[in-house]
Amino acid sequence: MPIRKIIHVDMDCFYAAVETKHRPELRGKPVGIGGPAQSRSVLCTANYEARKFKVKAAMPTSMALRLCPGLILIPPHFELYKEESRAVHEIFSRFTSKIEPLSLDEAYLDVTDCTAMSGSATLIAKEIRRLIQQERHLTASAGISINKFVAKVASDWNKPNGQFVVKPEEVGGFVKELVVEKIFGVGPVTAKKMHSLGLMTCADIQSQSLLQMTRWFGARGIELKNLAQGIDTRPVESGSERKSLTVEETFPVDLPGLEQGLQAIPALYQSWAERMRTNAGLGEIRGFVVKVKYFDFKTMTHEMASPSWPSIQDFKKLLSEVWTRRSDPIRLIGLGVRLGKPLNSENLDLDLDLNMNLNLFARTS
């Protein structure tokens, strides 16, 4: 396979930037997007002026106002964000058709075969950012490298309004320094397990044998070791045939009862919600599912058809139902969703819902 050229583009403080663009009097002032403090809502995002006060996405509005009393609070206008997202997507499409949207404000582009800007991914990213600024009066940051994982991490390096290139020969050194939380698919559950095993950075994983990694993480150990070495072969996909997205956890000691099983759900849910957000081209939700593997390795699953984003409570209910069918020590719990037809770029509502639901989750946790 030739060396790929992957760009990850991420708009800067997206919702806040769109709002300030329409209201120039807000420029230079701290702005947060979200509902009022009395409604116990949380912020969708905040601009960089507000971030100086440690105000950030998913923070309760009341806390944000305590940190930054001058914070200007604006309710979200999703139609505006969708419109900008489409326009930015159209700019991407002038360079390549291999575009994988991750959410309204983020996408991967595969520009390996692109001939614009003499085929330089660095210059293509620069040009895309210039066009976004010129045509939409918004800024974006970009990461450029040989795969999705490294490009995504790199897009945060010179944020806001900057870009960062990790050349092929620099990939190994770049990933070494990263904390394990940066690895694609590593949510709080896996990160906690890694920490307990003394794995704090990708370098720590690099120094483990493949055998050790598979002992600790099963088949997933291979993928984790690869990523920790900067190896990521996932293609940039404009649509996905993914049929489900689930996460699972094998417990160090079997859980003796339903109560302990129910207690394990929130952390799994958070990990799953993260995977939903970081996965591209997701289909529509068709239903949700819980899987239980018992001490004797026998597995039972239970699922419910539903088009909407499941809650922690939904998964708890399914687990309780599995438990009524078989009440034995639990070795593993998995949870997730069944997915249907893929979204296309004109239908980004789900991504929007994902963000909103993450906020809901943040509120209830």
Binding site residues, Mg ion, CB under 5 A = 10-11, 14, 105
Contact residues for 185 (Cβ-Cβ < 8 A; gap 6+): 223, 227, 275, 278
Amino acid at site 191: A
Among the listed ranges 118-126, 244-252, 253-261, 356-364, the one in contact with ligand TTP (CB under 6 A) is: 356-364
Q: How many Cα atoms are found within 13 Å in the side-chain-facing hemisphere of 71? A: 32
Per-residue contact flags (x/-) with ligand TTP for residues 19 to 48, judged by CB under 6 A: -------------------------xx---
Question: What is the three-class DSSP state of 233?
Answer: coil
Gap between the Cα atoms of 363 and 365, Å rounded? 6
CA distance 72 to 18: 14
Q: Single out the residue of 260, 258, 262, 256 nearest to residue 324, CA to CA.
A: 258
Considering only 5-13, 121-129, 260-268, 292-300, which stretch makes contact with ligand TTP by CB under 6 A? 5-13
Q: With contacts defined by CB under 6 A, how many residues of the chain interact with ligand TTP?
A: 19
Q: State the nearest-atom distance from the C-beta of 62 to ligand TTP, in Å.
A: 16
The answer to whether residue 105 forms part of the interface with ligand TTP (CB under 6 A) is yes
Smaller CB distance to Mg ion: residue 10 or 110? 10
Q: Is 106 a catalytic residue?
A: yes
- Residue 279 DSSP SS3: coil
In the list 7, 9, 11, 290, the residue contacting ligand TTP (rule: CB under 6 A) is 11
Determine which one of 49, 106, 248, 274 is catalytic. Answer: 106
Q: CB 33 → ligand TTP: shortest distance, Å? A: 7
d(CA 37, CA 64): 9
In the bound state with ligand TTP, the residue whose beta carbon lies nearer, of 17 and 322, is 17
Token pair for 93? 């499409």
- Which of 5, 7, 9, 10 touches ligand TTP by CB under 6 A? 10
Alpha-carbon Rg of the chain, whole angstroms? 21
Active site amino acids: 106
